[in-house]
Structure 1
């Protein structure tokens, strides 16, 4: 079992301050708040050593850890952890629970292709937790964003994703019609290395990412079969060739995909409504029938004789 030492967080705070997860808009009860996320990050980093800032670490080991941070190959595999409530708890009441959370995060990352990041200590854990939250994965040639399209009604941003010594900021945003789109910006750290990106399917020419403040936007497209929503790579040719290897049946805008998934109320609902309306009218017809056609019913029209008053009035005298 690990030991949590809160002073670690102050050691690594400066190098990782530009990293983080921020929730902009939450529309369900299963997505953790920014406060829950930041608290969890604080707890986990507090339990982890920070070997990359250890003055006794030799240059070879430091370079190896930095290389892992810059391109964490195959991390993070599987579905995103955004809605894993045991990984993003809203409340911890004891040190034992804190240590258990730390061990669970390490185990999760190790089993999802992030062993090298776990070995890199606090810096690696921070990177792995960010990748896992959004469903980001490094492959041999690119970084892919493979979030579930059904959770994109939430707006959030991932800041400081390491890619070849550069930092990528990726955000899921909502336009004025509440339709999601992706926003990407890059902060180049070292010599300029061109980065390219394309949306799901890579049908259009990949866009070169720049350090412009306004960044770059990409539509959210959903493919059949389901593929990542965004690809980022230093290899332009790789992205250009990618569309020919995906073998997709169709590509839909996010709103079209959601409309197909939830076409409206089920048939049983409308059948029940129609049945109730029919029964109501039958009941109403029965009331009218009994009133005018049933036993003891009143005639619909009164005869002329019934309407005439008697002409001779009888006088009664005492």
Structure 2
């Protein structure tokens, strides 16, 4: 069998042969140096020809020239995308996934294909309302022979993006669009258009919004029209009103070497009306229509007066807060494996279909309400409000999530999205699954999108919150619930944190991690920001890895909110069976070996109180507790390299090695043949010829 050691010995014998020949064929020192220089130059030339000079190569060789424009534009704008990084597997997913969804739980839109307004249903079992209204502005540019486009959702910023590029005079002319449904102002839809013309020639673009069959209401000559339509939803009617900013009526000239930006906004209002079965109902509907137009016009005027920076900052900070809890899994090349882009896309879309009630301005009712004025707050006040919002999530997490990990694939939860309806159907399955597995109280309550973040994270990690009896000290420290404003004005920070969870006098919460060590811990899994503490909203970080013997272990640490510097973030944990004393988890990371029991129990228990884990040890009855078995090498190789035995040297290495060996042997044969022919005519050639014959016919 041809192994690496065999190849090494074979190469060493060839190297010894050429060195032995060089001592007789090239007797002079200068000739040896020239030969060495020639060999080095040949190797460098061969390496440059095969690999190219080292440096950042942002383009895949499989990409045509026009796709370079799209990739280059996203790099210059700092947009992370798998196609830009040359990741073929993830790039295929982005190409095949045809939905670029943006939403805030009240409204949503797919800017890839559908581009029509959808009013979202926040509860499972209810249908979303596809209005058929086109709020987005279409940008038309001159036709070019080479064009390419890309539309995708950005999970980090909570927006949907599209890039359209054309080749004009050998330059990449790109139109990028960013669309988002404002996270804290649910009635607002924002579209940014950015046009870049690096060429030396100017061109014209036109803006157009598709016509609609909605009823148009015009107030004055300067204001934009309000469009209304009445939808019948079984026993009631829903009146929807939309007002969008005006678009340029004439073509816009884009001069050479210039970048132009445009912003368009839309405001949406919905309200229930009476039935149209009688005259009174018709009059009521007309009155509701007039009221909706008046209300929406006033709201649109206030939104239009706000600065773009303020709207963008509000939206970005809201999504940053929702993204503070994360789940990461290492990349796998195994067939049908679940990778990070799929998880991020589903997570972003799921959050986009749920209202962030704790973040929204106003009352947070499904209908659009008048916005409360923004007040200036210090950084400490903002951090305290964030801590209070997350603290309210923990108390509602009891009994969520019960079941196996949702990382299982293939599954209906991770199917491809061909259009918006398929995507919304999949997201409905997600909500029903989480609610059925004990997370209904967490998702349907006032926690909204914050609760969905917690439930989604728990489902991936097969983690369950269970209630346990509270220690007397913990129960006495908890007061009656208050509203958020009363807590901020009257209560101390400790009382605020206790009241935010709605009271825990009936028991505290214990976290149990139920991942399967044998089937789910053969990849690197990192969970960060999982809320655990019921009084201080402590966050738990878990890092599952494999040691050198391929046995799984976990690294744990905890940290508190920046608004709570005086609190000491301390939790307690024990492994499966809780046969040992609880380990204290602090800001310094600790590592624990994963254990399994018979019968099976959760692999990790986490609580704020050590005596709870002592109670678990006394009441948990198992036959044996052993270390989790080591994973098979071929299983790890399957995820790392796409198949067993893939951990060897890359294919390109062997191709280069074969080419080098062929070139070396051709050079050697030519050298030996030349010396063989010239040996008889050179004085003293007989001994030299005898040496050449001995070397040439030597057995190995």
Q: TM-score, normalised by structure 2?
A: 0.34
Contact 1:26–1:155 at 8 Å: present in 2 too? no
Distance (whole Å) between structure 2 residues aligned to residue 6 and residue 117 of structure 1: 26
Distance (whole Å) between structure 2 residues aligned to residue 144 and residue 117 of structure 1: 17
Distance (whole Å) between structure 1 residues aligned to residue 549 and residue 408 of structure 2: 25
Taking only aligned residues, the RMSD between alpha carbons, in angstroms, comes to: 2.6
**The one of 176, 181, 190 aligned to 2:548:** 176
Contact 1:172–1:182 at 8 Å: present in 2 too? yes
Aligned to 1:248: 622
**Deviates further, 184-193 or 94-103:** 184-193
1:33 and 2:339 equivalent?
yes
Aligned to 1:23: 329
Aligned to 1:153: 522
Aligned to 1:76: 401
Instruction: Kindly tell me the number of residue pairs found equivalent between the two proteins.
Output: 252
Distance (whole Å) between structure 1 residues aligned to residue 333 and residue 541 of structure 2: 22
Identify if the C-alpha distance between structure 1 residues 199 and 180 changes in structure 2 by more than 3 Å, giving closer, same or farther: same
* Matched ranges for 1:1-318 at <5 A: 1-2=127-128, 6-8=180-182, 10=315, 12-26=318-332, 28-57=334-363, 66-71=390-395, 72-84=397-409, 85-89=411-415, 91-119=416-444, 120-141=447-468, 142-150=510-518, 151-164=520-533, 165-189=537-561, 190=564, 191-192=567-568, 194-212=570-588, 215-255=589-629
Q: Deviations over 1:146-179 (max 9, x none)?
A: 1122221122111111112111111211112222
Aligned to 1:297: none
Q: Determine which structure has greater relative contact order: mean sequence separation of CA pairs < 8 Å that are 6+ residues apart, divided by chain length.
A: 1
**Deviates further, 225-234 or 75-84:** 75-84
Contact 2:569–2:586 at 8 Å: present in 1 too? no
Identify if the C-alpha distance between structure 1 residues 57 and 235 changes in structure 2 by more than 3 Å, giving closer, same or farther: farther
Aligned to 2:108: none
Contact 2:401–2:458 at 8 Å: present in 1 too? yes
Distance (whole Å) between structure 1 residues aligned to residue 530 and residue 343 of structure 2: 16
Distance (whole Å) between structure 2 residues aligned to residue 144 and residue 70 of structure 1: 14
Contact 2:461–2:515 at 8 Å: present in 1 too? yes
Q: How far did 1:209 drift?
A: 0.9
Contact 1:200–1:231 at 8 Å: present in 2 too? yes
Contact 2:331–2:339 at 8 Å: present in 1 too? no
Q: Deviations over 1:228-265 (max 9, x none)?
A: 00000011111122122111101121117x79xxxxxx
Contact 1:44–1:101 at 8 Å: present in 2 too? no
Q: Deviations over 1:28-82 (max 9, x none)?
A: 5454101111111111112221111012248xxx999755512400000011111
SS of match in other structure, 2:460: helix
Contact 1:147–1:228 at 8 Å: present in 2 too? yes
SS of match in other structure, 1:228: coil
Q: Deviations over 1:201-242 (max 9, x none)?
A: 111111111112xx1111110100000000000111111221
The runs of 5 or more residues in structure 2 that have no matched partner are 1-126, 131-178, 184-314, 365-385, 469-509, 633-700
Distance (whole Å) between structure 1 residues aligned to residue 319 and residue 579 of structure 2: 41
Distance (whole Å) between structure 2 residues aligned to residue 167 and residue 8 of structure 1: 27
Identify if the C-alpha distance between structure 1 residues 30 and 224 changes in structure 2 by more than 3 Å, giving closer, same or farther: farther
Contact 1:6–1:47 at 8 Å: present in 2 too? no
Identify if the C-alpha distance between structure 1 residues 2 and 122 changes in structure 2 by more than 3 Å, giving closer, same or farther: farther
Distance (whole Å) between structure 1 residues aligned to residue 587 and residue 433 of structure 2: 33
Distance (whole Å) between structure 1 residues aligned to residue 418 and residue 359 of structure 2: 30
Distance (whole Å) between structure 2 residues aligned to residue 159 and residue 217 of structure 1: 15
SS of match in other structure, 1:101: helix
Distance (whole Å) between structure 1 residues aligned to residue 595 and residue 129 of structure 2: 44
Distance (whole Å) between structure 1 residues aligned to residue 422 and residue 571 of structure 2: 41
Identify if the C-alpha distance between structure 1 residues 31 and 217 changes in structure 2 by more than 3 Å, giving closer, same or farther: farther
The runs of 5 or more residues in structure 1 that have no matched partner are 260-318
